[in-house]
């Protein structure tokens, strides 16, 4: 089968697109999924360089989430049948023609979404929903500041923040990206390439500061974002897409009575599976109702995987980056 293979750690130019990778074998509780599309996420950038916290053995196929059609089921499978349209998310393995997964690791594809849209929703939307609801306990009327607000996870935080009743301030590096955030429902925008993040947040909140900060970027804007927070604020640590892990003076948390809150969605799904399933039910219902509409502005055939990775690594992407097969 066609597959994008990582044989040695490095940048995307070290990956190898092959046509004859052996198809994975099935167990009694497994399903075989014919992949239609797969989502490219920042962990996919780290994992091929050997920099992610969970590393598969070499060689491996990257790709943490994908969508497709079940083409075979194991003898003990009870949840699925051939022809079902599904989503699969795992640490790797999605950038290929076929995936084999345990039946419990597969989700139904929302009927309202195309395969391309569905391929990019499981990690991003469920991470953001878990972050805002379980970790931040965000309340209607509170102010949410989203950094990297036009990116894959940031854009979902803007959408979900509005759906949960928050006032959303979207921060990004270009006016073009901020136009997308406005389309997603952001109440206010900040171009942190030209404006002072802290000063603008204070201005927009009447000096009170943000109640919740959603930060998938890290780097130079993390400390100003903490300084822009209000009393009892919650700072959500989502990731470090800019590269550097910030060093934040802890005295700021004392002075503001605020909390730094880690968000590790992957572990959450294992530690609290029942709550994870409840989150899926809510988010999937919102897809069907049209309350959430995934944004895809960067769509690449698998043969153009280097261009797809470049869009992600150079932070040019708006919304999700999707590979098609």
Domain count, the chain: 2
Domain boundary, last residue among 250, 266, 282: 266
Pairwise CA distance, residues 109 & 217, whole Å = 29
Same domain, 246 and 147: yes
pLDDT at 54 exceeding the cut of 90: no
Residue 240 has pLDDT above 90, yes or no: no
CA distance 153 to 157: 6
The answer to whether residue 272 is domain-embedded is no
Q: What is the mean pLDDT of the chain?
A: 94
Asked whether residue 162 is assigned to any structural domain, the reply reads: yes
Could you read off the pLDDT of 137-180 as tens digits, one per residue?
999 999 999 999 998 899 999 999 999 999 999 999 999 999 99
| Cα distance between residue 68 and residue 52, in whole Å | 26
Residue 110 in this model has a pLDDT that exceeds 80: yes
Which has the closest alpha carbon to 271: 162, 130, 103?
130
Residue 212: the pLDDT is: 98
pLDDT tens-digit readout, 194-208:
999 999 999 999 999
Burial class (CB in 10 A: 0-12, 13-18, 19+), 195: middle
The three-point CA angle 145-150-152 to 5° equals 105
Q: CA–CA separation, 122 vs 89, rounded Å? A: 7
Query: The pTM is what?
Result: 0.90
Q: Rounded to a whole number, what is the distance in angstroms from the first to the last CA of the chain?
A: 11
Q: Is the dihedral of CA 130, 134, 138, 143 positive or negative?
A: negative
Q: pLDDT class for 8, splitting at 50, 70, 90?
A: very high
DSSP 158: H
Query: Which element (helix H / strand E) includes 276?
Result: helix 273-289
Question: Which of the four pLDDT bands, split at 50, 70 and 90, describes residue 245?
Answer: confident
User: Phi/psi of residue 169, each to 5°?
Assistant: -105, 115
Predicted confidence (pLDDT) per residue in 299-319, tens digit: 999 999 999 999 988 878 778
State yes or no: pLDDT of 26 exceeds 80: yes
Q: What is the mean pLDDT of residues 15-24?
A: 94
pLDDT at 157: 98
Residues 259 and 129 in one domain: yes
Domain-embedded: residue 277: no
CA angle, corner 140, sides to 111 and 174, nearest 5? 70
Tens-place pLDDT, residues 254-305: 999 999 999 999 899 999 999 999 999 999 999 999 999 998 888 999 999 9
In the block, tokens 């897809």 appear at: 287
Q: How far is CA 79 from the centre of its chain?
A: 26
Whether residue 214 sits in one domain with residue 135: yes
Strands 85-89 vs 106-108: parallel, antiparallel or unpaired: antiparallel
- Domain of residue 73 covers 3-121+294-324
* Residue 273 within any structural domain of the chain: no
Q: Return the half-sphere exposure (C-beta side, CA atoms, 13 A cut-off) of residue 25.
A: 2
For residue 43, the domain's CATH number is: 3.90.180.10
84 and 133 belong to one structural domain: no
């Amino acid at each position: 089968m066609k597959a994008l293979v990582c044989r040695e750690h490095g940048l995307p130019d070290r990956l190898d697109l092959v046509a004859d990778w052996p198809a994975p074998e099935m167990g009694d509780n497994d399903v075989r999924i014919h992949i239609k599309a797969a989502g490219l996420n920042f962990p996919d950038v780290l994992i091929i360089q050997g920099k992610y916290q969970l590393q598969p053995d070499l060689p491996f196929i990257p790709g943490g989430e994908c969508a497709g059609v079940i083409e075979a089921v194991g003898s003990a499978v009870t949840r699925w049948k051939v022809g079902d349209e599904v989503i699969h998310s795992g640490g790797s393995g999605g950038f290929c023609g076929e995936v084999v997964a345990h039946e419990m690791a597969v989700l139904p594809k929302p009927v309202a979404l195309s395969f391309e849209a569905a391929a990019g929703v499981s990690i991003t939307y469920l991470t953001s929903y878990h972050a805002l609801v379980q970790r931040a306990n965000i309340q209607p009327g509170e102010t949410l500041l989203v950094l990297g607000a036009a990116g894959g996870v940031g854009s979902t935080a803007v959408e979900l923040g509005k759906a949960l009743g928050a006032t959303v301030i979207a921060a990004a590096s270009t006016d073009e990206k901020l136009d997308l955030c406005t389309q997603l429902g952001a109440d206010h925008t900040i171009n942190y390439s030209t404006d002072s993040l802290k000063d603008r947040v204070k201005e927009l909140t009447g000096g009170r500061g943000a109640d919740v900060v959603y930060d998938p970027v890290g780097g130079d804007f993390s400390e100003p974002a903490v300084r822009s927070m209000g009393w009892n604020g919650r700072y959500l640590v989502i990731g470090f897409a800019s590269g550097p892990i910030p060093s934040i003076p802890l005295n700021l948390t004392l002075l503001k009575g605020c909390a730094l809150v880690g968000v590790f969605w992957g572990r959450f799904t294992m530690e609290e599976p029942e709550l994870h399933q409840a989150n899926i039910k809510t988010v999937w219902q919102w897809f069907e109702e049209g309350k959430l509409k995934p944004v895809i502005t960067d769509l690449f055939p698998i043969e153009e995987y280097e261009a797809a990775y470049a869009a992600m690594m150079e932070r040019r992407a708006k919304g999700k980056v999707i590979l098609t097969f």
